[in-house]
């Protein structure tokens, strides 16, 4: 009697999922794809690959076209595709195109980013991305509905997809449709989401768990436990967990005591003290005796570089936004939000100036469009391209507990638990930039600590850099190296 492998079982389930999703995913004629052939050297290996910009139409339950996805895939030639992993990747928002991951981190071409943070950005140019993982996996860059060239069609509406659930369902349907159309039902499938895209990835892991289980998810700049990440007012955990970022950033700028230590050591100290004495002090609030308040404030000054008097005047807490304003205000400088290593002048009252850490991102949209036109031979008008979806202010966050209002909960981490239960080989990797002031190390550690995930199938990585940590070329190499090991079944060191 022949043995049935786990992969065969999951492949059969994927086929069943295709039938179950037939009411949402329509195999209909679309515009002809744009197909080009290339070769490059990735991780030291010469690779021939096909780049395809194609439409995929997802339908509503009645079978009417609801969303037209326009995505870019890079698929290696001359290999066994059934065994070859596929990496589906997208950015955040909600809702943004995948241009940043595409053109800075994952694609076969990447934008050069100045490594001297004080230097002007070089003239926009693309170079070969030698770190790209095309040597071991195929890559599909997804622009969610209403971003890039992807659009909601007559059978759908923005209301349908401008929500946590609707957005994740549409992208999950795309993954099923692409896999079926390209004969990749049996291929190991991994999803990489960045920022808000980590919430999308978590929801997809849950949606696909029963029918087409994923093999792994990489949460980069995770926002899955959004209450801690967003630092809701008076939430003691939100301040205690985010202390890791404040300590790392203060040390980088020479404002913390003993700033010359390795950043990992600084983060670990802030995590241990922050989740112990500091959290207890925040919980006790104004019941804490004055002498103890003074001790906590002094320790906060030593760790974060912001004066004890500030903490004493603000209930021993500082928001990430206030920290960006306070740390270097004596120099007339503020920190970048997405990468606090960058600094810029404090704006005058009423003045609006770009975030200092936006500097390396300014070339992304024009270089994405140039990549479409020159490398991928896509003749579409640049005016039709959307770097982000319009009018998302009413995005529905789909609370998971309670009737609404103040009783809503957002238990997105539980969706990942479904993926662990559905596939005994499913693994989770979480990556965070240590100088990010948006999605920080502490909430990522806390999310894992509070979840029932099998610890031997969870990998946590902390990278030099900010929200898009791969702008640092050291991290670009480590980031892609970790993906390479992850999608081939290993565990990054």
Domain boundaries, the chain: 6-227+396-487, 233-359
Tell me if 87 sits within 8 A of 105, measured CB to CB.
no
Quick one: average pLDDT of 271-285? Answer: 98
* Predicted pLDDT of residue 8: 46
pTM above 0.85, yes or no: yes
What is the tens place of the pLDDT at every residue in 119-155?
888 899 999 999 999 999 999 999 999 999 999 999 9
Does position 401 have pLDDT exceeding 60, yes or no?
yes
Average pLDDT score, the chain: 93
Q: Indicate the class that CATH gives domain 6-227+396-487.
A: alpha beta
* Among 9-18, 124-133, 338-347, 393-402, the least confident range: 9-18
User: Which of the four pLDDT bands, split at 50, 70 and 90, describes residue 352?
Assistant: confident
Dist. CA 122–CA 141, nearest whole Å = 26
* Predicted pLDDT of residue 102: 99
What is the tens place of the pLDDT at every residue in 48-105?
999 999 999 999 999 999 999 999 999 999 999 999 999 999 999 999 999 999 999 9
* Predicted pLDDT of residue 403: 67
- Tell me which of 389 and 354 has the higher pLDDT: 389
* Predicted pLDDT of residue 14: 47
* Predicted pLDDT of residue 3: 38
Quick one: average pLDDT of 352-361? Answer: 90
* Predicted pLDDT of residue 2: 39
Does position 12 have pLDDT exceeding 60, yes or no?
no
What is the tens place of the pLDDT at every residue in 447-461?
999 999 999 999 999
Dist. CA 466–CA 337, nearest whole Å = 9
């Amino acid at each position: 009697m022949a043995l049935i492998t786990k992969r065969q079982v999951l492949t059969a389930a994927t086929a069943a999922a295709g039938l179950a999703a037939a009411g949402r995913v329509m195999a209909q004629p679309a515009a002809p794809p744009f197909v080009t052939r290339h070769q490059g050297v990735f991780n030291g290996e010469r690779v021939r690959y096909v780049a395809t910009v194609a439409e995929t139409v997802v339908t509503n339950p009645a079978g009417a076209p609801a969303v037209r996805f326009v995505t870019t895939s890079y698929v290696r030639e001359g290999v066994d595709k059934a065994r070859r992993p596929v990496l589906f990747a997208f950015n955040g928002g909600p809702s943004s195109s995948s241009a940043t991951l595409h053109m800075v981190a994952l694609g076969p071409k990447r934008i050069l980013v100045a490594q001297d943070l004080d230097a002007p950005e070089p003239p926009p140019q693309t170079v070969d991305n030698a770190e790209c993982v095309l040597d071991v996996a195929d890559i599909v860059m997804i622009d969610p509905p209403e971003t890039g060239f992807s659009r909601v069609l007559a059978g759908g509406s923005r209301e349908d997809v401008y929500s946590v659930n609707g957005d994740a369902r549409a992208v999950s349907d795309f993954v099923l449709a692409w896999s079926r159309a390209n004969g990749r039902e049996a291929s190991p499938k991994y999803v990489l989401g960045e920022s808000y895209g980590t919430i999308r990835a978590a929801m997809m892991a849950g949606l696909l768990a029963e029918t087409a289980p994923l093999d792994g998810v990489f949460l980069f700049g995770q926002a899955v436990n959004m209450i801690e990440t967003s630092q809701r007012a008076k939430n003691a955990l939100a301040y205690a967990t985010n202390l890791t970022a404040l300590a790392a950033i203060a040390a980088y700028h020479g404002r913390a005591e003993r700033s010359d230590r390795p950043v990992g050591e600084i983060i670990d100290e802030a995590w241990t003290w922050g989740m112990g004495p500091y959290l207890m002090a925040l919980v006790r609030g104004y019941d804490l005796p004055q002498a103890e308040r003074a001790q906590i404030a002094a320790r906060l000054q030593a760790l974060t570089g912001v004066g004890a008097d500030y903490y004493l005047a603000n209930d021993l807490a500082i928001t990430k936004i206030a920290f960006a304003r306070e740390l270097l205000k004596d120099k007339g400088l503020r920190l970048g939000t997405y990468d606090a290593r960058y600094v810029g002048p404090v704006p005058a009252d009423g003045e609006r100036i770009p975030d200092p850490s936006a500097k390396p991102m300014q070339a992304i949209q024009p270089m994405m469009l140039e990549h479409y036109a020159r490398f991928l031979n896509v003749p579409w008008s640049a005016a039709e391209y959307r770097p982000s979806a319009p009018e998302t202010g009413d995005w529905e966050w789909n609370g998971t507990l309670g009737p609404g209002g103040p009783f809503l909960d957002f238990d997105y981490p539980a969706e990942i638990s479904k993926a662990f239960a559905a596939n005994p080989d499913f693994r989770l990797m979480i990556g965070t930039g240590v100088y990010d002031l948006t999605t920080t190390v502490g909430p990522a550690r806390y999310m894992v600590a509070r979840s029932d995930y099998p610890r031997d199938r969870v990998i946590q990585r902390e990278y030099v850099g900010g929200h898009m940590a791969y702008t640092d070329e050291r991290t670009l190499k480590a980031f892609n190296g970790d993906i390479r090991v992850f999608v081939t079944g290993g565990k990054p060191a």
